[in-house]
Amino acid sequence: MQETLYLLSSSKNAQRLARSIAQLNAGGATARELLTDEPTQKPQRGNLKG
């Protein structure tokens, strides 16, 4: 939410965000896998360290 508010604070960024949302609503989005350098592991319950 904070990121969206930050983008809306500038008129140029607000225009870009509005165009992106319109593009998404019109079906112009492509699902993609996220890239990561870290191996993916499922967190295990009860193993919290702190």
pLDDT, tens digit (0-9, with 9 covering 90-100), for 1-50: 888 888 889 999 899 989 989 999 999 888 889 888 777 666 667 655 55
In this prediction, residue 43 carries a pLDDT of 64
Residue 7 CB burial class (10 angstroms; 0-12, 13-18, ≥19): middle
What's the pLDDT score for residue 40? 66
- 């993609």: which residue's tokens? 32
Token look-up 């809306």 returns: 8
